[in-house]
Amino acid sequence: MVLRGGHLCDPVQGWDGPADLYLRDGRVAAVLAPGAPPPAGQWRGWDASGFLVVPGPIDTLCACPAGGDPWREDLDSLSGAAAAGGYTALMVHTGSADPDRIGAVRGRAAGVRLHPVAALQRDGGLADLGLLQRAGAVAASDWPGQPVSPRLLRQALEYGAGVGLPVVAVAQDAELAGEGLAHEGPLAFALGLRGIPACAEEVAVARAAALQRSGGGRLHLAALSSSAGLEWLGAEVTAAVSAHHLLLTDAALRGYDTAAKLAPPLRGEADRAGLVAAVRAGLLFLASDHRPTAPEEKDGTFEAAACGASAVETALAAALEVLDPAAFVRACASGPAAAFGLPGGTLGVGAPADVAVFAPRSWRVDWAELRSRGRCTPLAGRRLAHRAVLTVVAGRVVYADAQTAFTEA
């Protein structure tokens, strides 16, 4: 297939302008100036003029759905939702230290690529990181699940380095966060909600970074909510932020909106602005932090509500509200691919044909229209200026927006 005339943005190749993108046999076959004579062969054309064409976005933080009941998220509904949001790959945090489970997620035939992330601990000790890596895990994580001790985190980093497995750590000190419900600040105080201090994150980031510095290994912090720990990031210590935290502040909690109950919590405007600046500077990756919830988990009081929201369908479009195309691609495609050694991240010739296309088409987020079975988003009612219209994984179209006319060119 050929995507003609789109605005192709690929910082790895230094491309940021109109181009024709040729895909064949699951790989990028050629990238040519618009209208240049095609390479030999038959090409099925898609008109992408006016659209943004980027290397397939990779989500670094996405909860592995438990499935079970038909109304709960499963890997199929997750994959479908992610494809509709423009994602071509998901790092699925399984919370499992069982290589068979990792292998099952890895081998799952789904629309988008599923990269399983294993649990780094089992029975209080180190999980079989080598076996998990061989089974297909791309990282080991303490998300979700029991917090790990600094000693265990250090061991995971050291051992993980030996078997080629990066460690993903939750950036929140559980004891400092306590039973907090919201960003510690004037709003939580006025609402009578127990606060989670920003230092709960800063301490966890600094501690994890110090452990990495001392013992080596690759460290990635799952999701930041505050700009306080940014100084600890570097080549071997990466971190991500969710699009929710780039667009929203704790003001979204007014009226006790349980959809805005997230972990880590939404914080104040200074943190939001600091995180946006950090993504623009290439310091942070973008994560969806997709954590679907069942309706009964969000129906009660703010205190009783579960943390999390459905995000794979909205995260990329939301990020485009505040990022230019180059920063966007670095944060959601080339950065994660390089940090975790994943296929993709660029559309250079020979790279996997994983592509996302975004149209400058304003839409209103409506929870009732989500494909995710979570149906809960703090962005509900908000207008976003971009929308994913075509998602291609290994040269195969896994999502094409029905309303967009890709006139065969």
Partner 1 sequence: MTAAVGGWTALQHLCDLDGWTASDLEGLLDTAESMAEILRRPIPRVPALRGRTVLLLFYEASTRTRHSFELACKALGADSLSLAAATSSAAKGESLLDTLRTARTLGADAVAMRHPDSGAAALAAAAGLLPVINAGDGAHAHPTQALADLFAVRRRLGRLADLRLTIVGDVLHSRVARSAAQGFRACGALVTLCGPPPLVPPHAGPALGARVEHDLARAVTGADVVMALRVQRERQEQGLVPGAADYRAGWGLDAQRLQSLCPQALVLHPGPVNRGVELSPEVLDLPQAVVGEQVTAGVAVRMAVLYRILESEGAEGA
Active-site positions read: 289
DSSP three-state, residue 238:
strand
Interaction between residue 367 and partner 1 (CB under 8 A): no
Interaction between residue 299 and partner 1 (CB under 8 A): yes
Binding region for partner 1 (CB under 8 A) out of 132-140, 178-186, 306-314, 328-336: 178-186
DSSP three-state, residue 163:
helix
From start to end of 125-166, where are the E strands? 125-126, 139-141
Binding region for partner 1 (CB under 8 A) out of 104-112, 188-196, 356-364, 400-408: 188-196
Q: How far is it, in rounded angstroms, from Cα 339 to Cα 60?
A: 10
**Which residue lies nearer to partner 1 by CB, 185 or 336?**
185
Beta strand 387-393 with 355-359 is antiparallel
**Which residue lies nearer to partner 1 by CB, 218 or 261?**
261
Among residues 300, 341, 348, 381, the one that binds partner 1 under rule CB under 8 A: 300
Q: What share of the chain is helix, strand, coil (3-state, %, to 5)?
A: 30, 25, 45
- Residues between 64 and 123 that touch partner 1 (CB under 8 A): none
Among residues 57, 99, 116, 185, the one that binds partner 1 under rule CB under 8 A: 185
Q: How far is it, in rounded angstroms, from Cα 372 to Cα 76?
A: 10
Distance of closest approach, residue 272 Cβ to partner 1, in angstroms = 17
Interaction between residue 186 and partner 1 (CB under 8 A): yes
202, amino acid identity: E
Distance of closest approach, residue 188 Cβ to partner 1, in angstroms = 8
* Helix/strand number for the chain, H first, E second: 13, 22
Among residues 256, 282, 338, 343, the one that binds partner 1 under rule CB under 8 A: 256
Question: Pick from 90, 235, 211, 214: which is nearest to 148 by CA?
Answer: 211
Interaction between residue 167 and partner 1 (CB under 8 A): no
Among residues 35, 162, 164, 192, the one that binds partner 1 under rule CB under 8 A: 192
Distance of closest approach, residue 186 Cβ to partner 1, in angstroms = 4
Interaction between residue 324 and partner 1 (CB under 8 A): no
Phi/psi-derived region of residue 2, left when phi > 0, alpha when psi is between -120 and 50, beta in every other case: beta
Distance of closest approach, residue 189 Cβ to partner 1, in angstroms = 4
Interaction between residue 294 and partner 1 (CB under 8 A): no
# residues contacting partner 1 (CB under 8 A): 20
Among residues 44, 123, 301, 350, the one that binds partner 1 under rule CB under 8 A: 301
Distance of closest approach, residue 195 Cβ to partner 1, in angstroms = 8
Among residues 175, 255, 350, 408, the one that binds partner 1 under rule CB under 8 A: 255
Q: Are 105 and 95 in contact (CB under 8 A)?
A: no
Interaction between residue 296 and partner 1 (CB under 8 A): yes
Distance of closest approach, residue 358 Cβ to partner 1, in angstroms = 36
Give the residues across from 239 on adjacent strands: 221
Among residues 109, 190, 402, 405, the one that binds partner 1 under rule CB under 8 A: 190
Interaction between residue 304 and partner 1 (CB under 8 A): yes
**Per-residue interface string for the shown chain with partner 1, residues 201-240, x marking contact by CB under 8 A:** ----------------------------------------
Question: Pick from 75, 112, 113, 68: which is nearest to 94 by CA?
Answer: 75
Write phi, then psi, for 355 (nearest 5 degrees): -140, 145
Question: Pick from 81, 83, 86, 88: which is nearest to 65 by CA?
Answer: 81
Question: Pick from 302, 91, 326: which is nearest to 194 by CA?
Answer: 302
Q: How far is it, in rounded angstroms, from Cα 303 to Cα 194?
A: 9
Question: Pick from 58, 151, 128, 83: which is nearest to 341 by CA?
Answer: 58
Interface positions with partner 1 (CB under 8 A) = 184-187, 189-194, 255-256, 296, 299-305
